[in-house]
């Protein structure tokens, strides 16, 4: 069997959830959209169902997968619904839609529901993707109330730049939001992971941590507040071939690396078809047999190559960690010019193994 796999540490997931919850001092909704950022939504939901009151996913089909697996917690649909006909299942399965557009309010007006809905009303405070502008929120809210089909409304917004600590865009978004929230006297739901970790002055009745549950930092550079996060995913494989090359030999597609001295090269059974980023450059850290070494040469579809010259104890069959508790996914992401969110979401083809 090919040795590549992703190990998911469900205990670390629970500890990260508890950290988010304690930082927030309020109700933390566990965001498990996109198959729990590549970690396995059903398994993560089972691990967290006693910890959290509510889960969040992006859309209806993601929520139905959890219902089919027997998850009973309310589920927030972050993108709301796309078609009127989804309201029947939202009603039936106790899903909480985000309402971000006028047509959705009209759809609720027309719908025949078994029971009143719990909704999250979305304000556009500066992200400028979806949601009602601050000045349009009161009218939208009163229209919703007038349908008599709403049990509970929470006012929400989403930050565009909370991972950027040196600018005040987040504070501006928050004060625009808070002004309306105070007027309407509604419960609020604001904080994502970077807001929870880096903006203690920004809090809300509900929070929506995502990436921090998986133990990765949302910030480009290390922050004190992320020290307590525990990486959940370990992407690992083994050395399947070793060769010694003289100086001046190039390795792999495009000859991206040329040996500058006699070198020992290890081949690892994992590649970009598994989700390891093809754009990871020479010198990206890789852990082999418990020691840090480096990627050399271009990442291929099913394999990549590492430098074993200074690791005489490493050889055929040695364990390799691409990211996990020793090599942080955010470190690899930065070098590959992406973010840990994308690295995790891209994981495919490798079997997942769960530990608790």
Q: Which residues bind ligand PLP (CB under 6 A)?
A: 31, 33, 78, 158, 192-193, 208-211, 218
Residue in this structure with the two tokens 């990436």, named with its chain if needed: 211
Cβ atoms of residues 273 and 8 within 8 Å: no
Measure the CA–CA gap between 111 and 76, rounded to whole angstroms.
Answer: 19
DSSP-derived secondary structure for 111-134:
---SSPEEEEEEB-SS--SSSB-G
* Strands 55-57, 75-77: pairing kind: parallel
SS3 97: strand
Please tell me which residue in 17, 33, 257, 272 is annotated as part of the active site.
33
**Among positive and negative, which fits the CA dihedral 30, 33, 38, 40?**
positive
Active site residue 33: yes
State in angstroms the smallest separation of the CB of 223 from ligand PLP: 14
If the CB atoms of residues 211 and 233 are measured against ligand PLP, the closer one turns out to be 211
Please tell me which residue in 53, 171, 253, 348 is annotated as part of the active site.
253
If the CB atoms of residues 111 and 334 are measured against ligand PLP, the closer one turns out to be 334
State in angstroms the smallest separation of the CB of 321 from ligand PLP: 23
| Phi, psi (deg, nearest 5) at residue 140 | -60, -45
Nearest residue to ligand PLP on Cβ basis: 210
Measure the CA–CA gap between 339 and 198, rounded to whole angstroms.
Answer: 18
If the CB atoms of residues 117 and 198 are measured against ligand PLP, the closer one turns out to be 198
If the CB atoms of residues 199 and 272 are measured against ligand PLP, the closer one turns out to be 199
Entry field: residues in the chain? 356
State in angstroms the smallest separation of the CB of 233 from ligand PLP: 14
Q: Where are the alpha helices (DSSP H) in 59-192?
A: 60-68, 86-92, 102-110, 137-146, 169-184
Active site residue 169: no
State in angstroms the smallest separation of the CB of 354 from ligand PLP: 21
State in angstroms the smallest separation of the CB of 97 from ligand PLP: 13
If the CB atoms of residues 233 and 306 are measured against ligand PLP, the closer one turns out to be 233
CB atoms within 10 A of CB 112: 8
Name the residues annotated as catalytic. 33, 253
């Amino acid at each position: 069997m090919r040795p590549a796999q992703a190990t998911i540490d469900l205990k670390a997931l629970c500890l990260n959830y508890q950290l988010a919850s304690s930082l927030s001092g309020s109700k933390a909704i566990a965001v498990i959209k996109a198959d729990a950022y590549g970690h396995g939504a059903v398994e993560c939901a089972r691990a967290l169902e006693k910890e959290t009151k509510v889960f969040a996913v992006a859309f209806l089909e993601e929520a139905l997968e959890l219902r089919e697996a027997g998850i009973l917690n309310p589920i927030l649909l972050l993108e709301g619904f796309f078609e009127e006909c989804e309201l029947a299942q939202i009603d039936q399965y106790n899903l909480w839609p985000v309402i971000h557009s006028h047509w959705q309010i009209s759809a609720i007006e027309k719908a025949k529901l078994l029971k009143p809905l719990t909704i999250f009303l979305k304000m556009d405070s500066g992200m400028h993707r979806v949601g009602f502008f601050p000045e349009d929120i009161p009218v939208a809210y009163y229209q919703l109330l007038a349908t008599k089909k709403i049990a509970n409304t929470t006012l929400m917004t989403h930050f565009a730049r909370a991972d950027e600590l040196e600018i005040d865009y987040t504070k501006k978004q928050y004060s625009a939001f808070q002004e309306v929230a105070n007027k309407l006297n509604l419960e609020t739901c604001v904080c994502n992971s970077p807001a929870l970790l880096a903006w203690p002055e920004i809090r809300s009745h509900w929070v929506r941590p995502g990436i921090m549950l998986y133990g990765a930092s949302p910030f480009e550079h290390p922050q004190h507040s992320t020290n307590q996060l525990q990486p959940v995913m370990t992407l690992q494989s083994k050395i399947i071939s070793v060769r010694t090359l003289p100086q001046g030999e190039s390795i792999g597609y495009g000859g991206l690396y040329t040996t500058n001295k006699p070198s020992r090269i290890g081949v690892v059974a994992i590649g970009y078809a598994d989700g390891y980023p093809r754009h990871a450059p020479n010198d990206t850290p890789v852990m082999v047999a418990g020691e840090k070494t480096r990627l050399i040469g271009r990442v291929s579809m099913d394999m990549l190559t590492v430098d074993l010259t200074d690791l005489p104890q490493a050889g055929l069959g040695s364990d390799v960690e691409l990211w996990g508790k020793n090599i942080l996914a955010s470190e690899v992401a930065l070098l590959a010019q992406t973010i840990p969110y994308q690295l995790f979401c891209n994981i495919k083809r490798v079997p997942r193994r769960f530990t608790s």
